[in-house]
Amino acid sequence: MTTCPKCGYIRQPTEQSGHPDTCPSCGIVYHKWQANPALDPKSLRKRRRLQETVIETSNRFSLRALLSYLTYVPTQINPLVYWGRSAAYVIFFVWGWSFILGGISWENIMGSFLHNIILPFHEFGHVLFMPFGQFWMILGGSLFQIMMPLIAMLAFIIQNRDNFAASLMLWWTGHSFIDLSPYIADAPYRALPLIRGMGGEAHDWGNLLSMTGTLQHAASFARISFNSGVIIMIISFFWGGYLINKQKKYAFY
């Protein structure tokens, strides 16, 4: 061995000091180094290429790339489609603020026709989570009414590449949180009318908070649900508004 596989040192013909199987420069034992495949120069090159691939992949899925993906709009858009989306944005913006400014009000939130649209998804959630036990079956209604618009949002983003429609689904997700807030606040009283006709015994959140011993915190949980919905809805306003503004130049220029 005349060239060190690690540091590249070339042993001189006149060099007689040291063991012939040891590199005079870095001190490795040649046969041990070669016996370890992880230290083989070819393996090291493969490892470096793998590390570069991982870095490249992580950059691809970085925050900047994610934001770029979520703010994508098609470069060609019909002006009529643009105006239709703008009108939809204004409607959902005004409608959303009516829920936000109305606070945790049963009449304002659960009196909306959108509550009747959410109800089937809520009831289906009970059936969907039934195999996981009583607690998850009861919680499943609330979970699925939040999951449903999120699933639709992901479908619009990934499959349809329609980020504006996805922003409306995020708005719906925020509303679903707001829709739950009076239900949670009513847990200690069980006074809200229920569609299953079973009186207070069928009150999801009354049962859930009783099972967990947190019934006294119902008002706090309701406020958390309401505020979460408000934050999500405001994010949807910014997202949708940005997309509308970005699409404007493609619709008219």
Owner of token pair 């919905």: 229
Band of residue 54 on the pLDDT scale cut at 50, 70, 90:
low
Cα→Cα distances 107→70, 146, 165, Å: 35, 21, 28
Band of residue 17 on the pLDDT scale cut at 50, 70, 90:
low
Closest C-alpha among 232, 239, 231 to residue 71? 239
E-assigned strand segments in 75-232: none
pTM greater than the 0.75 cutoff? no
pLDDT, position 66: 81
pLDDT digits (tens, 9 = 90+) for 151-187: 999 999 999 899 999 999 999 999 999 999 999 999 9
For the chain, the structural domain boundaries read: 1-60, 77-252
pLDDT digits (tens, 9 = 90+) for 225-235: 999 999 999 99
pLDDT digits (tens, 9 = 90+) for 77-134: 888 888 999 999 999 999 999 999 999 988 888 888 899 999 999 999 999 999 999 9
pLDDT, position 67: 83
- pLDDT at residue 198 greater than cutoff 80: no
